[in-house]
Structure 1
Amino acid sequence: MAIQRGFTSDSYQIITSKILTDRQGNAKIFSARSLGTKSRAFFPSQVQSGRASSRARHFKKVTHCVFDLDGTVIDSESQYHKILKEICANHGKKYTKELQIRNTGSTDKEVCANVVRELRMNITADQLQRELQDASRSKLPHAPLQKGAERLLQHLYEKGIKFALATNSSRRAVRLHMAAKPQIFKLFNHMVCATDPDVDRGKPFPDIYLMAAAKFPDNPKPIKCLVFEDSLVGLEAGLAAGMQVVLTPPSRLPPQVARRATLVLKSLQDFKPEYFGLPPFSDDNKKLA
């Protein structure tokens, strides 16, 4: 969920991963030993952008969905950075808006390392991460759902569309949200977190999304999975995985960034499932808006 640290689609070419796609586009999980050589990850050749009202857009039909968590399903991203700002202030440092933008969507470990280095704090990144985790236990579970999230998740579940969670958050952090919102999290088929032992790298690398696709019972091709994201880090990861990406950014995006997403929406409330061959909303879903 950032304008990444020197990472762009142009510079992203050669990767190594436990999770790759075969020639037919199927997600496969390989052991580290079986890889041996580097593999090339390609971005989709045609990435379309558009608004919710643009019915003339043509999108590829999908059969599965994969959701980011913080900032996409739950409005926790702003709270997360508020906690960081308070911790930095306690150490006599100012957590700026610019630093927040650069850190949005990164893992806790990456965020803390960046903050300690940029602000030249007198504590280690590990110490900052412990303070962040301690403060998050009491504050993050109270974060509300994003607009339209419950309606969309409930709709997909009722229509038999399988969907997963793929997040740069730690499994410990996800459990905090699960305890506060069990009725929402029970709808997901499965989840993949950046700290899972079989995930080598978090977003912006595609590993998390490819792993999420591979864990569906019918192992769909990546192009059959629709990603929902709110950050540039997540956008990079979804595109690198060969998936279409619906982006709901927290603020206005530069045109060059918006064009790279498959679809840019103000919120999940504006999403039209039928654009991607999914069952349309019925009147029964409106009450969950």
Structure 2
Amino acid sequence: MPVTAASTTAATTLTARALLLDMDGTLVDSGPAVERVWRAWALEHGLDGDQVLQVVHGRQGFASMAILLPDRPMEQNIEENARMLVLETVDTEGVTAIGGAADFLAALSLGGLPHALVTSADDALARARMGAAGLALPPVAVTAEHVTRSKPDPEGFLLGASLLGVAPADCLVFEDSEAGVAAGLAAGMRVIGVGAATTGYGATVSVDTLDQVTVTATASGTLTLTVTP
């Protein structure tokens, strides 16, 4: 059953069979930690920190480095990314939950509703940030170790759908970054964007916080999401 959407002036209703959730910027506000680590990296390489931060959101570190330092061997990017992941994992100061994320995840878990985390972080970083934000890690999680290509490639979302046993067209993605929205759309999925900027990225519908999203399930397994303005 394809994901469908119907809009009214009061709300938007979408249906799906499973939800795929990004972490940073979608469930977890890790902005301060991301900025500290990447500004230090920018300074080390003589790059403008503001320009670096415009590139890194939503991507795995090695993919961001490849954009920012295009002449550098990928092996060096991968090695340096591993070092940065360690630094990010221990730096959880200021990491908090996005508005509505705790209640949203709790409702999905309590209702036994199919969902998975799909993040560019590795397993250790995902656990550290979700823990620092006071959020439970979903039982199904696609992290950096499980994919060979970074967002905006759809590999992670397609794997998440496969692990849940749901066709891509029946999945709904939650994302905040341009790369993440592009990955969800490339996977043939519709996207609920978290943050006003996601409208410009092509998200199906955008919200400011997850408090605006309510999920209910039918006996047939269909999930109905009501998005209020």
When normalised by structure 1's length, the TM-score is 0.64
* C-alpha RMSD over aligned residues: 3.3
The alpha carbon displacement at 1:180 in A equals 4.2
Q: Deviations over 1:239-271 (max 9, x none)?
A: 11121110013x645x6x35x211111121222
Normalized per residue, the structure richer in strand is: 2
Which residue is 1:101 aligned to?
54
Is 1:261 the counterpart of 2:215 in the alignment? Answer: no
Q: Which residue of 1 aligns with 2:41?
A: 87
Aligned residue number for residue 159 of structure 1: 111
**Cα pair distance change 1:81/1:205, threshold 3 Å:** same
Partners of 2:156 and 2:45 lie apart in 1 by: 36
What does 1:162-241 align with in structure 2 at a 5 Å threshold? Answer: 162-177=114-129, 180=132, 184-185=136-137, 188-196=138-146, 199-216=147-164, 219-241=165-187
Shift of 1:86: 2.3
Q: Normalising by the residue count of structure 2, what TM-score does the alignment of the two structures yield? A: 0.79
SS at match of 1:173: helix
Q: Is the 8 A contact 1:165 1:191 kept in 2?
A: yes
* Separation in structure 1 between the aligned mates of residue 45 and residue 185 of structure 2, nearest angstrom: 39
Deviation at 1:140, TM superposition (A): 3.2
The one-letter code matched in structure 1 to 2:36 is K
SS in 1 for 2:117: strand
Alignment-derived partner of residue 55 in structure 1: 10
Q: Please, which runs of 5 or more residues in structure 2 have no aligned partner?
A: 217-221
1:246 aligns to 2:192 (yes or no)? yes
Is the contact between residue 66 and residue 227 of structure 1 (CA under 8 Å) also seen in structure 2?
Answer: yes
Distance 1:137 1:103, change over 3 A: closer
Q: 3-state DSSP class of the match of 2:173?
A: strand
Give the 4+ runs in structure 1 shifted more than 4 A.
178-183
CA distance in 1, matches of 2:78, 2:197: 33
After TM superposition, give the deviation of residue 220 of structure 1 in Å. 1.9
1:12-161 matched pairs, under 5 angstroms:
54-55=9-10, 57=12, 59=14, 61-89=15-43, 91=44, 93-117=46-70, 124-126=76-78, 128-140=80-92, 143-161=95-113
Q: CA separation of 1:179/1:78 partners in 2, compared to 1, >3 Å: closer, same or farther?
A: closer
Classify the secondary structure of the residue corresponding to 2:203: coil
Q: In structure 2, the residue corresponding to 1:228 is in which secondary structure?
A: strand
Highest CA radius of gyration, 1 or 2? 1
Q: Residue 223 of structure 1 aligns to which amino acid in structure 2?
A: A
User: Residues 176, 141 of structure 1: CA spacing in aligned structure 2 closer, same or farther, 3 A cutoff?
Assistant: farther
Please state whether the residue corresponding to 1:215 is helix, strand or coil. helix
Query: Using a 3 Å threshold, how does the CA distance of structure 1 residues 145 and 181 change in structure 2: closer, same or farther?
Result: closer
Residues matched between the structures, number: 219
Shift of 1:272: 3.5
Amino-acid identity (%): 23
Residues 179-220 of structure 1, C-alpha deviations (whole Å, 9 max, x = no match): 5467611xx131112322xx332211211111111112xx22
Q: Give the 3-state SS of the residue equivalent to 1:147 in structure 2.
A: coil
Give me the whole-angstrom Cα distance separating, in 2, the residues matched to 1:279 and 1:193.
Answer: 25
